[in-house]
Structure formats: C-alpha cells, structure tokens
A and B are shown apart, each in its own frame.
Chain A
Amino acid sequence: MGNDIMIQMKNIYKRFNELEVLKGIDLEVRRGEVLAIIGPSGSGKSTLLRCLNRLESIDCGTIEIEGDFLAREEEGIAKYADKIASQRILSRMGMVFQQFNLFPHMTVLENLIEAPVQVKKMKPEQIIPTAESLLDKVGLLAKKDVFPSRLSGGQQQRVAIARALAMNPDIMLFDEPTSALDPELTGEVLRTMRRLAQEHMTMIVVTHEMAFAREVAHKVIFMADGEIVEQGTPQELFSNPQQARTKAFLQNML
C-alpha cells in the first residue's frame, strides 16, 4: 500500500433545507486503502459518498482527489472546480449503487461498453475485449448478451461493478451495495469486492455488513448524526470501541 493520499475531505458541511446532514467531516483515504463507513441510517454516510462524486453538492469544505481540488473552501463556502476540471476529476471514481441502476434496455455487454464508447469515444471493438474480461472476472461472461431483468440481484450488482470498472477508475465508491439483496446473494457481491480490494483498488464502502468491514477494510469510520464519531482500524473499532454511541451501535448490529 502506497502512502500517497487519494482522497482528502476537509470540513465538509451539507444541509438539505433545514436539515444539517454533514457537520464538519474530515476524511483521508490513501492509495489502495479500503475504507468502510458504518453507522445508523440517517447518519449521513450515503450523503458523504454522494458528495464525493457530486451527486450532491457540499455547502462548505474542501474535496481533493489525487491532488486536484474538486471543491475548495473560500470564505466559508465551497467553490467547485470548473466543468472540464470537474469531469476529469470525477472520471477517476466509479460508483456502485444500492439499487444497481443498470440500464434495462441494454444487454449486459452493452451496459459495460456504453460509457467507454460515449464518453471516452472508444470504438466498440476497442473496449469489448476489456469488457469481456471484466465480465469474466465477476463470473458473468456467459450472461453478456442477456438483459439485466434476466439476472438475479446479486448478478446485477456484479455487472454494475464491472460496468464501473470498465471506465478504469482509480477509486471505487460503494453505496450499500448489498442492502437490496436477499441474504443468500450478498456473498457473491462481497466476494467480488474482496477480490477488488486484494488487487489494491482504492475503495470507500458504505455498508451494513459488519463482517465485511471487519475483514476487508483497512480503516473503519463510524458516523452518527452527520459527524464522524469514531474511526480506526477494524481491530480497534470493533474490538475496542471508545465511544458509547459506537458501542451501542455495534451491540445492536451483532
């Protein structure tokens, strides 16, 4: 694991009208690191992830991705980079959603090559070998010509992971990737993610899977009410939590 910082978030504030959902978050992720974010629903953990790739905009704070500023705090408000710089920075991150969000009108292979062809202007024949090897990696090459509706939830989520990887990101963001799945289907998705971690992909995973966080993450953050309550190695956080709220949360989860 290198020591270079991939993601740095400083003093992040975000409100939805009257509701303050992020209250001064600071966070750092290094290259090859797997960061798990846990916490009760409504704690702001998904919002934090969505702010990172601009599905939501922050009100205040600084976001730096691989040394480039996506947003920079100026006089108490977040100033975003211009459109071209933003696009360049955001293209380094891939995202996997709770609801998969595959394109239902495209086959599995078409889902994978869509963005490389449209965004990177690659020719289909340039990207198809990569797409096929990614599908092979997630164990779904045999399904390349079927439509997503024919797949189980677990298979759809593995395709969604492969689709994000087809854009060759440096960082992968996972927003509760197994929460919409039947319990018996979470294993195959977690295995795929574990393999990605072993290949030193930088990952941020918002999850309720404590076993996964404990086993795969290098660092775990516990969030509640828009704040980071506690962070540390899985060992520290799960075996020896310092804060009362962390203890209470973990007790409920086990």
Chain B
Amino acid sequence: MEKLMVIVMPMLEGCEITLQIFSLTLIMALPLGLLAAMAKLSKFRLVRVLTDVYIWLMRGTPLMLQLLFVYFALPLVGIRLPDIAAALLAFTLNYAAYFAEIFRSGIQSIERGQYEAAKTLGMTYMQTMRRIIIPQMVKRVLPPISNETINLVKDTSLIYILAMNDLLRVARTIVQREFDMTPFLIAAVFYLAMTFVLTWIFKKLEAHYAKYDE
C-alpha cells in the first residue's frame, strides 16, 4: 500500500499539470474558435483569407511540430515563453482551428429564415448571432465538440517532449526507475476517469438542449 502511494502521489501531481493544460486550453480555444468561425463568415475577403491560412497551418501540421516550434524556435527570434505558456499557446491555437471549423459548419446549418425573422423584428446582426444563431448552433455542435474535447485530454500528453511533468511523463519516469509497469496502468485509469467525467458532462449538456426539438 505504501509503495502504491509512492507511485500515485507524484502521478496525481502529474494529473494536475494535465488538467491545467486541458482546462486552460479549453477556456481559451472555445472563444477563439468562435471568433475564427465568425471571421471565416466575414464579409471582408481579407479577413476570410487570413483565417483560412491560419486554419490550414494549424490543421495541416502535426501538433507535436507546433509544440516544438513554440518551445524551441520562438526563443531563437527572441520570444521566450515560460513552459506552461508555450504549451498553452500551441494547444490553444491548434484546438481553436478545429473548433472554428465545427462552429462555422454549425452556424451555416441554421436556416436562413432565422436570420430573416430576426431582421424583420429589427434585431441587429450581433443580436441575431448572440440570441438566435449561436444558441441553436451550440446544440448542433455538441457531439463534435465533445469528440475534440476528449481528444484534447489525451493530446495533453504530448507535452512530455517539453520536459513538463504531466501525468504520462511522471508515469514513464517511475516505470524507468522502478522497472515496474504499474504506473502505466494507473495512468490509463486516470485518463479513463477524466474522459468518463467529460463524457458524462456532455451527455448532461445534450440532455439540457434536448428540451426543444427543431
């Protein structure tokens, strides 16, 4: 039992890093993704093109490469970020790009009649988006957003290459030190627990939005 605690305690600390990266990325990437989705639907061509380039770069290169770039290449041009900030920057930019595409398709799936009804009632574009379009969009994009969110929990393990002691890196360190595979099993249980909670939250959200049909 005592031996197990020696393994589990540092892994709980690793979990803290993992959850920190996960939640901060989500908090920043969701609004940024919505902003990018709106930019993609902008009437200004330049805004649309720039957003397309950003999304293409983020989805077209490995997240691992983006992490390495922020961590190792940016300091060469004088931008040196603290470890956590560097990881957050890469994760947020990457996930916001995926969220943007999901939000955009959700927004475009709302019938034109909704915009027209809002317009004839005198609502402005921003009021229409905020009150009519986005609330309906959220219901429709919950399943794909749920998918991406679960991916994010697991993708956080990529930060092991930045020498940050997240859950997976702690597990590996102990495995190498003790020649004992148990930490890997415990890590799996931790990841499963986190994704279980997320799945449950999204199920609740979907049930909440099921109060109205379309």
Contacts and interface: CB of A to CB of B under 8 A. Distances in A.
Interface of A: 53-55, 87, 90-91, 93-95, 97, 99, 101-105, 114-115, 118-120, 147-149, 160, 163-164, 167
B121 A53 contact: no
Contact of B121 (A99, A105, A163): A163
A6 B213 CA distance: 39
Nearest to B121: A115
A149 B127 contact: no
Contacts of B123: 114-115, 118-119
B90 to A, nearest CB: 35
B176 interface: no
Interface centre among A91, A102, A105, by most chain B C-beta atoms within 10 angstroms, is A105
Contacts of A55: 116, 119-120
Interface in B184-214: 211-214
Interface stretch (B72-80, B128-136, B145-153): B128-136
Contacts of B60: none
**Size class of the B contact interface (CB-based, 8 Å):** 20 to 34
Contacts of A97: 113, 116-117
Interface in B53-69: none
A105 B127 contact: no
B122 interface: yes
A178 B211 CA distance: 28
Nearest to A160: B117
A163 B121 CA distance: 9
Contacts of A118: 123, 127, 131
A164 B121 CA distance: 7
A69 to B, nearest CB: 19
B139 interface: yes
Given A147-B213, A149-B212, A105 B135 contact: yes
A90 B119 CA distance: 9
Contacts of A99: 111, 113
A90 B120 CA distance: 8
B114 interface: yes
Contacts of A101: 111, 113-114, 116-117
